[in-house]
Amino acid sequence: MKKYVKYTIGFSGIGVLIGLAISLVFNYLNGSTTYYPSSPNFVNQFAHPLTA
């Protein structure tokens, strides 16, 4: 059981880092000088930024 908890925590941390790296790459490719977790075009489709 301890092994599964250790793997779950480890792999979830790796997943967060991979997601952040992909987000940074797409932000760079978008040509933005400010970091946006998602593109402004996507966020503008929602009434509130937290909903996006």
Q: What is the pLDDT of residue 13?
A: 93
C-alpha 9/C-alpha 11 separation (Å) is: 6
Which residues in the chain come in under a pLDDT of 50?
none
**16, 36, 43, 49 from 32: Cα distances, Å:** 22, 8, 15, 18
Looking up tokens 């793997």 gives: 7
C-alpha 7/C-alpha 11 separation (Å) is: 6
C-alpha 43/C-alpha 49 separation (Å) is: 6
Q: What is the pLDDT of residue 50?
A: 81
Q: What is the pLDDT of residue 39?
A: 76
pTM score: 0.64
Q: What is the pLDDT of residue 9?
A: 92
